Amino acid sequence: MRKSVIVLLMVCVLSGSLFAAGQTDTATARPMVINAAHSMPTTYHYHDGMMKFAEEVASRSNGTIEIEIYPAAQLGEEVSTMEQCKMGAIPIVLTGVFDSYVSRAGVFNLPFLFRDGEHANAVLNGPIGQEVFSDFSKHGMKVISVWENGFRQITNNRRPINSVNDMVGLKIRTPQSPVWMKAVESFGATPTPMPFADVATAIVQGLVDGQENAILHILANKTYEVQKYLAVVNYMYGSAPLLVNEAWFKGLTETQRTIIVESAAVANTYMRDVAKKADQDAIKFFESQGLKVTYPELDGFRAKVEPLYKSEWSKQYGADLIDSIRNMK
């Protein structure tokens, strides 16, 4: 309780300064300082992107705008920071959790929807992504760029995965999400939803055989220390919208808005390059630590989830939307 009160007081103090700093103080030539938050550690590629974003904003504004970054959930976990962005307490938030606000955006989590990162970037930062994410305006927020969280892979302790048949009988931790659970179940495994904080203990105790997550999550959370096998399947893509409080954003000058949007686009490209290299380095590191890495044949995995597109997801998200995503070149 005491910690919650302290965090709330911190946010109130910060929010008071955030909106007071809506414009540069020309009398004293002080820069406008804008707070931006994300939940990952400074070693994660989110932070590389945020640092590049801050650098670009400072450069393009000739030092009249500064981005103050709060990493590692200093201002709260993702759900909390999104609520604070919605209320106007934090102007800019980077998050990987969003479909609870914009249910249609859940379509971007569907398995094997994207061919690769370039395809995902073209969709998410193009007309399709803009149209779907425009629903954030109903919650007082706006997406100015969509960054990358990464493709999700599967780890376990029972056997190497070389085909979808090797998934049969495995108990795999998933988030509490129907899409994740049904996808893993379609592979023949048993989805076991639980909070991520409990995963390492559950693996050690044998309550689950493994889990699924992005390479850099596996690295950052040291999941490789309690797993023997990693299968690179790229079966789900995690995106990370960069959100702004819409009322605050509209209160900026047109020049300031342009600087922020263009800087976010540059940071998106930079962060994706950083993440790609970091993924490659992480896999080499995992192998050096004794983790067995396999690259399964994927047609079998795709065939298992395709009936779910026809029976459920086309009805939930619309066949036209799914087809437009899949067919984008």
What are the DSSP calls for 158-218, one per residue?
Answer: S---SSGGGGTT-EEEE-S-HHHHHHHHHTT-EEEE--GGGHHHHHHTTS-SEEEEEHHHH
**In angstroms, rounded to a whole number, what is the distance separating the alpha carbons of residues 298 and 119?**
18
Lowest mean pLDDT among 12-26, 101-115, 233-247, 270-284: 12-26
User: Are 248 and 260 spatial neighbours (Cβ–Cβ below 8 Å)?
Assistant: no
CA distance 33 to 66: 5
pLDDT of residue 28: 57
Q: What are the pLDDT digits (tens) for 160-187?
A: 999 999 999 999 999 988 999 999 999 9
Does position 139 have pLDDT exceeding 50, yes or no?
yes
- pLDDT bin (cut points 50, 70, 90) of residue 18 is very low
Confidence band for 100, pLDDT divided at 50, 70 and 90: confident
pLDDT at 3 exceeding the cut of 70? no
Q: Which domains does the chain have, with CATH numbers?
A: 2-149+238-280 (3.40.190.170), 153-236+291-323 (3.40.190.170)
Say if residue 22's pLDDT is above 50.
no
> Using one digit for the tens of pLDDT, what is the confidence trace for 234-258?
999 999 999 999 999 999 999 999 9
CA-based nearest residue to 110, from 99, 122, 95: 99
Residue 13 scores a pLDDT above 60: no
